[in-house]
Amino acid sequence: MVSNVTYLANVVHPVQLGILISIYFFYTGLSAGSFVLSSLGTVFGIQKYKPIAKAGVIMAVALLAIAPLHLIGDLEQPQRFYTLFFRLNPHSAISYGTFLLTLYPLNSLIYGWFLFRRDFATGAQELTGFRRVLYKFLSFGKMDLSKAALAKDAKIAKFLGTLGVPLALMVHGYTGFILADIQARALWHTGLMPLIFLMSAMVSGTGLLILVLMFSQRFLSPERTITPERKSLLLDIAQLMMWFIVVDATLMVIDFIMLYFDNVAGHAAAKLFLYGSHRTMFLGVEVGLGLLIPFIITLLPKTRKSLGWIGFASVLTLIGVIAMRINFVIGGQQIPLSADTLNPYTADPKHLIMIGIFALLEITILYLAFRFLPVYGLPKEKVQTEL
Amino acid sequence: MTEKKRRWAMVIDLRKCVGCNACTVSCKIENNVPEGVYRTWVKEIEKGDYPQVTRFRLPRLCNHCDNAPCLAACPVQATYRTEDGAILIDYDHCIGCKYCMAACPYDARFINPVRKTAEKCTFCYHRVEEGLLPACVTTCVGGARVFGNINDPESLVAKLVANNPVQVLKPEMNTQPYVFYIGADQNIMGARYDNLEKGEQ
């Protein structure tokens, strides 16, 4: 290759899909991961995971209610977003995503309702005050608590959950395809991308579920404590997380080996992440903090039995997966298509503010849901004083 | 022989390009392109060591590909192809998702900061429809830019493509571009990856 080439004039092409899109991928991943965990008990019939089914579905719905706001916020013409529903392009991953992002939360919502109906109906009859009114409303008048009715609920929930698992996989698989379909971007254009996104979704979904379970069981459940059964289930979920980390890391290793032996742009991308300026974000944060340390924590007998360590590992996986989304979305566009330097990226302050607002909204929704919905069964005392 | 459908194409004879950027300026004026963004621009490199050193130029614009990745990417069919092969954007329907910009291997697209939609070279379709040439072609000082119907064997573009070794940008992307170059140096046709981070900070 001729090496003595100097670029004298060219136009700068800044990165276009930025932090909002990265965080959108993060939310969708969390949602898909939570849903799959919720389905372990209800669909796959693994009894020990039944207690987390409700928590999982609440997270899946709450996260996917907020996720698309990031997409709309990123549009230059946000008021035109609804045209996505009828001006379809069968070649565009986004057209498929529009419907997946609509159907999946709706399906999850109905699935969740069938998981909760028994508690709504019981609560509407046994409780007093605010919760009685709320549960009566949420039961939509379906108060039948007979064995046959409850069996029917479980059957429908299983059906919707069975439908929901492929939907969840498709919702997050499609986000991988959004990137993988783009032949122009060396870092994105791999068949592994949807799988990498799915596995990182499972890692982060498990991580957040562990944190939400810990917090809500301790402070919002009727017992206000993490009982020994709950603790053993949390530790068990952490072991699941360890295996998700193993698969995720394996895919990442395969991806980067392939990238290293790819064409000139792919090789440049691999070098940028392995020993270029992105090595801290990739090897340090995404791989080191996000995969390696949580793996060690969930592997060592001493730390894997401690809720504190498990919680710490879960926080790290979330940080790691956020870094992964940013690395792939923004880093992928920084590899130039016509220039001789990295394409620049500066986060728009408006976008950062939006992310903050959406995150607050998300935390509020999750808090209210875990506070007022019978995620862990009904309050023990029949008389509730709080309003 | 049956007459083939009209297909607009451009040939840029780089042996005649002097790098004056008149095309860049005329495009800006003709299409009211805001500051900081370009529908066409001229890339310039220097190759070799003194005294064996030469400058090479590469006018850049949308390639109006036959297999356009932007067309496949657009989720609202705002990007479309005219009957004569030009790729255009319906500004009233573009939602500004920027997916087309990620998909284009040629960096041809940008967001118009005033209109807030995607934008790119249209081959000056509004002029071509009236029987005029694109602004960059009429203004090209050296006569490097040639525009016409490549399916008409009598047209200058068809003759130039037939009688010269021509190149297109990134043929490996299977985009089938309709902007052909004569005399393009391979060091200017794509990106350079040997020292990506020199420009940082």
* Cβ-Cβ contacts under 8 Å, B198 against chain A: 340-341
B34-71 pLDDT tens trace: 999 999 999 999 999 989 999 999 999 999 999 999 99
**Helix/strand/coil (H, E, C) string of A338-381?**
CCCCCCCCCCCHHHHHHHHHHHHHHHHHHHHHHHHCCCCCCCCC
B65-94 pLDDT tens trace: 999 999 999 999 999 999 999 999 999 999
Question: Do residue A338 and residue B76 have CB atoms under 8 angstroms apart?
Answer: no
Q: Does any domain span residue B194?
A: no
Across A368-387, b (16+ Cβ under 10 Å) vs e yields ebbeebbbbebbeeeeeeee
Distance CA B36, CA B44 (A): 18
Short-list A10, A73, A77, A4, CA closest to A344? A10
Q: Which of A17, A81, A341 has the CB atom closest to B198's CB atom?
A: A341
Q: Number of A:B CB contacts under 8 A? A: 173
Which chain B residue is nearest to residue A73, measuring alpha carbons?
Answer: B97
The pLDDT, as a whole number, for residue A386 is 47
Q: Does any domain span residue B157?
A: yes
Q: Does any domain span residue B153?
A: yes
Distance CA A170, CA A167 (A): 5
Q: Count how many domains chain B has.
A: 1
Tell me which of B95, B174, B176, B187 to substitute to probe the interface with A (most A C-beta atoms closer than 10 Å): B95
Q: What is the mean pLDDT of residues A260-276?
A: 93
Q: Does any domain span residue B198?
A: no
Question: Do residue A76 and residue B117 have CB atoms under 8 angstroms apart?
Answer: yes
Write the burial class of residue A155 (CB in 10 Å: 0-12 exposed, 13-18 middle, 19+ buried). exposed
Tell me which of A1, A3, A7 to substitute to probe the interface with B (most B C-beta atoms closer than 10 Å): A7
CA distances from B127 to A83, B30, B62, B91, B131 (A): 30, 10, 16, 18, 7
Q: Does any domain span residue B197?
A: no
Q: Does any domain span residue B121?
A: yes
Q: How are the residues of chain A apportioned to helix, strand and coil, as percentages rounded to the nearest 5?
A: 75, 0, 25
Question: Do residue A8 and residue B44 have CB atoms under 8 angstroms apart?
Answer: yes
Which chain A residue is nearest to residue B198, measuring alpha carbons?
Answer: A341
Distance CA A9, CA B198 (A): 15
A178-226 pLDDT tens trace: 999 999 999 999 999 999 999 999 999 999 999 999 998 888 888 888 8
Q: Does any domain span residue B195?
A: no
Question: Do residue A11 and residue B192 have CB atoms under 8 angstroms apart?
Answer: no
**Could you tell me the residue range of the domain that residue B128 belongs to?**
8-188
What's the CATH number where B67 sits? 3.30.70.20
CA distance A5 to chain B (A): 5
Q: Does any domain span residue B67?
A: yes
* Cβ-Cβ contacts under 8 Å, A339 against chain B: 107, 191-192
CA distance B194 to chain A (A): 8
CA distance B131 to chain A (A): 30
A43 has a pLDDT exceeding 90: no
